[in-house]
Amino acid sequence: MVPEVPNSEIRLQSTAPRAEDVLLGAFKRHRTTPIEAIYVQRSLFRNEEVVLKMTVDRRRSVRVDVLRPLLHEGLASLDNGRELKSFRPDSGRLSIQRSPLMGQPSPESRVRLVSVNYGLSLQPGRITAGRPTWDLKLTARRDEVPDRTWTLDRQTLTPLRITVRGGESGELTALQALSFRVLEGRVPDLKLEPGGRIQPVRLWGPEPWTGAARQRARLGFDPAMPPRLPYGFTVLARELGGAEAKPFFALRVSDGIQTATLYQWSSRVHGEANPVGQDPLYLDQRGVRFAVFGDLPPELARTLLGSLLLPSAQPNTRP
C-alpha cells in the first residue's frame, strides 16, 4: 500500500518527496481546490488544438468552456461528480447524463496500476504559469507506450503541463497552462444555465453490461471481450450506451495514466448510422463495427482495438 503524505508536507518539504506520494496526492486532490485556469490542449488521438477555461468550485464541480477555435467557441460542460451537463450553442442543446467520474477506481488502486506499467521519478520543475512545480516523470516499461512528464503545481498538485514522448508523434505537449490561480475567499457555486432557448435532453445510460439475454437482443451480438489486454491495460467498465432500444457496447480501459474506450455496434441494428461519433476502423463478418477513442497515440489505440477483433475482421472502408 502506498503511504499517504499530508498535503502540507508535500507542499513544504525542501527536498523532493517520493514520486508515488505526489502521484497519489494528485489523484486524491483532483477537483478539491477551487481554481481557475486557461489551458491549451492538444489531442494525441486527433490533430487538433483547443483553448479551454477550467474552473473548480468548493463543491468539487468542474466547468470547462471552449474559447478557441472559433468553430467550437461557446461549448461548455459542468460536471459535479454525479451529473454531467454539456451545452452546444449551435443547436441550443443541453445534454444531461451520468457523470463519467462515477465508478472511477480509487486513487490507491490507480497508483498501484501506474507503478506496474511505469517507472516513477520526481524532480523540481521550472516555473510554469507563474507557479513553482514538480516534474513527475512516468517512464513506460514497454517500448510501445510513450513516456510522459506531468508538471504539477506544488500547492494543489494540479497538472500545468503534460509532455508525451515517443510513438509516431515524437514529442508533444498535450497540455499547457497559460494562466493558473487558486480562488480564495468565497467562491460561488458553478452553474451551467445558458440564456435563450435551450433544449434539455436527458441521455439514457450508461447501463452496466451483465450479459443478460435482453441486453444481447438489443445489442444484436455478443461483444468481444478478450481475457487480457496488451501493454498492461485493464478494464474499468463494460457498458451499454447510446439509446436504450439501439445501444452500442463500450469497453473502458486504462493503464493507470492513459484511458480509452473501445466501441462495438451492429450495422444490422444501426444500419449506416454511427452511434458513437468515431470513425469505425474495422468490420467483421457478423456486421459488427469497431472504433476507439482516448487520450493515447493512434497507433497504440489501434493495437488495443485489434485485441478485440475476430480473425475475420477487415479494415472498414466506409467510415
Average pLDDT in the 114-126 region? Answer: 97
Average pLDDT in the 37-47 region? Answer: 89
155 and 220 housed in the same domain: no
161 and 223 housed in the same domain: no
**Does the residue 120 lie in any domain?**
yes
Domain-ending residue, one of 147, 182, 217 = 182
173 and 291 housed in the same domain: no
Determine the pLDDT at residue 168.
65
Domain-ending residue, one of 182, 217, 239 = 182
Kindly report the CATH number assigned to the domain that includes residue 209. 3.30.200.100
Is 70 exceeded by the pLDDT of residue 127? yes
Domain membership of residue 249 as a residue range? 204-315
Residue 124 C-alpha cell reads as 523540481
Determine the pLDDT at residue 12.
42
**Does the residue 2 lie in any domain?**
no
**Does the residue 88 lie in any domain?**
yes
Read off the pTM.
0.86
Q: Summarize pLDDT for 54-64 with one digit per residue, the tens.
A: 999 999 999 99
Kindly report the CATH number assigned to the domain that includes residue 36. 2.50.20.10
Residue 127 — left, alpha, or beta (φ > 0 → left; ψ -120 to 50 → alpha)? Answer: beta
**Does the residue 46 lie in any domain?**
yes
Domain-ending residue, one of 116, 148, 182 = 182
163 and 83 housed in the same domain: yes
Least confident segment among 4-13, 60-69, 237-246, 254-263: 4-13
Is 90 exceeded by the pLDDT of residue 7? no
Is 80 exceeded by the pLDDT of residue 272? yes
164 and 223 housed in the same domain: no
**Does the residue 1 lie in any domain?**
no
Determine the pLDDT at residue 48.
86
94 and 237 housed in the same domain: no
174 and 228 housed in the same domain: no
Determine the pLDDT at residue 311.
59
CA distance 218 to 225: 18
122 and 230 housed in the same domain: no
Q: How many other CB atoms sit within 10 Å of the CB of residue 11?
A: 16
133 and 258 housed in the same domain: no
Q: What pLDDT band is residue 319 in, cutting at 50, 70 and 90?
A: very low
19 and 105 housed in the same domain: yes
Residue 80: name the closest of 111, 105, 106, 55 by CA: 55
264 and 140 housed in the same domain: no
**Does the residue 250 lie in any domain?**
yes
The rounded Cα 245 to chain-centroid distance in angstroms is 27
Is 70 exceeded by the pLDDT of residue 129? yes
User: Beta strand pairing status for 147-153 and 62-68?
Assistant: unpaired
Is 90 exceeded by the pLDDT of residue 140? yes
Least confident segment among 39-43, 99-103, 230-234, 306-310: 306-310
Is 80 exceeded by the pLDDT of residue 17? yes
Average pLDDT in the 194-209 region? Answer: 87
What is the secondary structure of the chain as a DSSP string?
Answer: -PPP--HHHHHH-SS---HHHHHHHHHHTTTTS-EEEEEEEE-SSSS-EEEEEEEE-TT--EEEEEEESGGGTT-EEEE-SSEEEEEETTTTEEEEEE-TTTTPPPHHHHHHHHHHHEEEEEEEEEEETTEEEEEEEEEESSTTSPEEEEEEETTT--EEEEEEESSTT-EEEEEEEEEEEEPPS--PPP----SS--EEEEPP--EE----HHHHHHHTSPPP--S--GGG-EEEEEEEEE-SSSEEEEEEEESSS-EEEEEEEEHHHHTT--SSSS---EE-TTSEEEEEEESS-HHHHHHHHHTT--TT-EE-S--
The number of domains in the chain is 2
User: Beta strand pairing status for 83-88 and 93-98?
Assistant: antiparallel
**Does the residue 234 lie in any domain?**
yes
| 77, 87 Cβ separation under 8 angstroms | yes
20 and 104 housed in the same domain: yes
**Does the residue 29 lie in any domain?**
yes
